[in-house]
Homo-oligomer: A and B are copies of this chain.
Amino acid sequence: MASNQHVKLFGMVGSPIVARAEIALKLKGVEYEYVNESFSNKSDDLLKYNPIHKKVPVVLHNGKPICESLVIVEYVDEVWTGYPILPSDPYHRAQARFWSKFIDDKVFPAVYKAAWNPNEKEREKGAEEVREVLTILENELKGKFFNGDSVGLLDIAALFIAFWLPLLQEAGGLDLYGGEKYPKLEKWGHDILNHPVIEGVLPPRDLVLTFFKTRFQSISASK
């Protein structure tokens, strides 16, 4: 359909949120130019194309910017044919959207609180919340992937849990699970990290580990 048109992705190597946009584009086989931004030096283009949030990812498609990772994933699914990222049934689409929102509204804030909150009691509360949301997701996982037999919107939204979360724990010496087991999520994590498209999008482990370690050190230095 629009597959031979010009696509640029403004991203940041290592970001789990940018990975969502990359995975969507790659699942559809869309060719794109990657523009790597950095926290400390955002390009004029990024500020022009996402003036509201000034954040990656931004997909520029024929000169038109699309912002917000989940909005981008839905856009990519609607514009390019081929691999279906959202289910075709409206109820299942609603479920995928509901749970993707849950990841952003509940999982990320819990993890952030557990890892970075300056107050130890708050970090403990955060860890409890992490276990709660993981238990909820563990119960929600019915097939090989959240989307069934193939990777879909929610799998893409939840990928942080499979790849970045273990690295965050390693970097900070955290034990957020506190002995809890999530066997279905673990199996899902294994499968999704070995998915050919997703494997190709993941940043080097060491880069993410170093990024998290540096952040833990800078927080501990500022105490």
Which A residues contact B (CB, under 8 angstroms)?
A: 52, 61, 64, 66-68, 71-72, 74-75, 78-79, 90-91, 93-94, 97-98, 101-102, 136
Is A91 a contact of B75 with CB atoms below 8 Å?
yes
Is B136 a contact of A52 with CB atoms below 8 Å?
yes
Is A68 a contact of B97 with CB atoms below 8 Å?
yes
Please name all residues of chain B whose beta carbon is closer than 8 Å to the beta carbon of A74 when the two chains form the complex.
93-94, 97
Is A97 a contact of B71 with CB atoms below 8 Å?
yes
Q: List 24 A-B contacts (CB under 8 A).
A: A61-B91, A64-B91, A66-B91, A66-B94, A66-B98, A67-B98, A68-B97, A68-B98, A68-B101, A71-B94, A71-B97, A71-B98, A71-B101, A72-B94, A74-B93, A74-B94, A74-B97, A75-B90, A75-B91, A75-B93, A75-B94, A78-B90, A78-B93, A79-B90
Task: Indicate whether A102 sits within 8 Å of B64 (C-beta atoms), given known contacts A75-B94, A90-B75, A94-B75.
Answer: no
Q: Which of A66, A72, A93, A94 has the most CB of B within 10 A?
A: A94
Please name all residues of chain B whose beta carbon is closer than 8 Å to the beta carbon of A75 when the two chains form the complex.
90-91, 93-94
A147 to B180 Cα, complex, angstroms: 47
If A61-B91, A66-B98, A79-B90 are given as contacts, then 10 extra A-B residue pairs at C-beta distance below 8 Å, sorted by A number, are A52-B102, A52-B136, A66-B94, A67-B98, A68-B98, A71-B97, A72-B94, A74-B97, A75-B93, A78-B93
Chain B: CB-nearest residue to A51: B136
A93 to B75 Cα, complex, angstroms: 8
A202 to B52 Cα, complex, angstroms: 30
Could you tell me the distance in whole angstroms from the C-beta of A198 to the nearest C-beta in chain B?
23
A52 to B137 Cα, complex, angstroms: 11
A67 to B97 Cα, complex, angstroms: 10
Could you tell me the distance in whole angstroms from the C-beta of A72 to the nearest C-beta in chain B?
8
